[in-house]
């Protein structure tokens, strides 16, 4: 696979889904057990699920105690949301982006080549290796205004447009790669959140190792002006792109104490109700941070589209060659008489 980012094995397919749901089930069970075992958690649960729901009952009466026992038997229902909440992190699958990344890599390869100091382009793709030869052969074998027009306004600019197309495919590919990295980080963050929540549940109000209950959302994707100058001085450096290389260098699944984490806080609490509330807040934070990173990718792609459009529009309106456009040559509209008169073999 030629894509720039590989999803770590533990975050791929069924292995990830099984680990995620398994940990979520353990967390749900731990929340239930701790609620029953921890006095403060039990008192808090009784207050929220019996007293507030049945204000007409006097504490200590037979009816009150019956409601307490009913709640005890149904306490699992209070945490039924845990597993479904974490199952939302099964999708999107980072590897679903691979086909687009692969295709962009293929397109990039089609336009691979080198440009020398004279702006002559030599393509790596056999289908395009004759770009420079065509001009040389026309100069050697033909004469007339159509010959000069075709060389000057189509063949020569083509040597500039082709590598620009390659760079464009590379830039778009990197933005898609960054999007994949975001989803990889999202999956790892969900697993880290489960670990932190499980620790916080089993160690209620424990200050001995507070770091173990801390958690961070995804790390910020690397940002840089990666659009760079194109051939012949054309550039689209106005836009701010995401740097896939920098992102991957920082690590696809950075440690949960990563300094570049967007949001971080403590999952711990005094009771299981506190921990449960912090878990739901953490899930919202992760989704919010993921969305903010997705928007960076969307903005990057919009910037690419905007800048390419601004470079193409003047060429299309004036029928001139530009960094991403080729002039319509005189040959395109020539009649048979014009072609015979303006493009003749050299004798």
- Kind of pairing between the strands at 264-266 and 214-216: antiparallel
Characterize 268-300 residue by residue with b for buried, 16 or more Cβ atoms within 10 angstroms of its Cβ, and e for exposed: bbebbbbbbebbeebbebbeebbebbbebbeeb
59/156 Cα distance (integer angstroms): 91
Q: What percent of the chain has pLDDT above 70?
A: 78
pLDDT of the residue at 129 = 67
210/267 Cα distance (integer angstroms): 9
Residue 4 has pLDDT above 90, yes or no: no
Q: Please report which confidence band the pLDDT of residue 2 belongs to, taking 50, 70 and 90 as the band edges.
A: very low
Computed over every residue of the chain, the mean pLDDT equals 82
pLDDT of the residue at 178 = 93
Q: What is the pLDDT of residues 196-241, one digit of tens each?
A: 999 999 888 765 566 778 899 998 887 765 555 454 444 445 556 7
Q: Among the ranges 27-31, 226-230, 332-336, which has the highest mean pLDDT value?
A: 27-31
Residue 310 has pLDDT above 70, yes or no: yes
Q: What percent of the chain has pLDDT above 90?
A: 32
Q: What is the DSSP string of 286-336?
A: HHHHHHHHHHHHHHHHHHHHHHHHHHHHHHHHHT--BTTB----GGGG--H
Q: What is the pLDDT of residues 279-301, one digit of tens each?
A: 999 999 999 999 999 999 998 89
The separation between CA 222 and the C-alpha centre of its own chain, rounded to angstroms, equals 11
Residue 111 has pLDDT above 60, yes or no: yes
Query: Do 240 and 257 contact (CB within 8 A), yes or no?
Result: no
Q: What is the mean pLDDT of residues 266-278?
A: 90
Q: Please report which confidence band the pLDDT of residue 278 belongs to, taking 50, 70 and 90 as the band edges.
A: very high
Characterize 138-150 residue by residue with b for buried, 16 or more Cβ atoms within 10 angstroms of its Cβ, and e for exposed: beeebebebbbbb
Residue 151 has pLDDT above 60, yes or no: yes
Q: Give this prediction's pTM.
A: 0.82
Which candidate, 159, 130, 177, 140, places its Cα nearest to that of 301?
177
Q: What is the pLDDT of residues 231-268, one digit of tens each?
A: 444 444 555 678 888 888 888 887 766 567 888 889 99
54-63, 85-94, 139-148: segment of lowest average pLDDT: 54-63
Q: Please report which confidence band the pLDDT of residue 276 belongs to, taking 50, 70 and 90 as the band edges.
A: very high
């Amino acid at each position: 696979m030629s894509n720039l980012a590989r999803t770590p094995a533990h975050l791929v397919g069924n292995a990830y889904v099984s680990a995620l749901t398994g940990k979520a089930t353990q967390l749900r069970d731990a929340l239930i057990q701790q609620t029953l075992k921890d006095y403060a958690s039990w008192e808090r649960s009784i207050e929220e699920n019996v007293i507030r729901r049945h204000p007409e009952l006097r504490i200590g009466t037979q009816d009150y105690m019956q409601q307490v026992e009913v709640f005890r038997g149904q306490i699992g229902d209070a945490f039924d949301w845990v597993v479904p909440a974490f199952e939302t992190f099964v999708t999107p699958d980072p590897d679903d982006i691979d086909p687009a990344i692969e295709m962009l890599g293929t397109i990039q390869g089609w336009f691979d080549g080198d440009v020398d100091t004279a702006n002559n382009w030599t393509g790596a793709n056999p289908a395009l290796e004759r770009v420079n030869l065509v001009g040389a052969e026309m100069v050697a074998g033909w004469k007339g205004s159509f010959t000069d027009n075709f060389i000057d306004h189509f063949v020569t600019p083509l040597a500039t447009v082709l590598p620009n197309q390659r760079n464009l495919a590379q830039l778009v590919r990197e933005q898609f790669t960054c999007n994949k990295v975001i989803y990889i980080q999202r999956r790892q963050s969900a697993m880290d959140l489960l670990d932190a929540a499980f620790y916080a549940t089993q160690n209620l109000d424990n200050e001995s190792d507070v770091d173990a209950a801390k958690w961070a959302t995804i790390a910020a994707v690397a940002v840089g002006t990666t659009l760079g100058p194109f051939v012949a001085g054309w550039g689209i450096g106005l836009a701010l792109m995401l740097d896939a290389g920098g992102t991957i260098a920082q690590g696809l699944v950075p440690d949960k104490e990563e300094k570049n984490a967007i949001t971080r806080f403590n999952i711990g609490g005094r009771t299981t109700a506190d921990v449960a509330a912090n878990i739901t807040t953490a899930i919202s934070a992760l989704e919010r941070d993921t969305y903010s990173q997705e928007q960076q990718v969307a903005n990057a792609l919009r910037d690419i589209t905007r800048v390419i459009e601004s470079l193409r529009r003047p060429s299309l309106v004036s029928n001139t060659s530009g960094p991403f456009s080729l002039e319509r040559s005189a040959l395109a509209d020539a009649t048979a008489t014009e072609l015979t008169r303006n493009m003749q073999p050299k004798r």
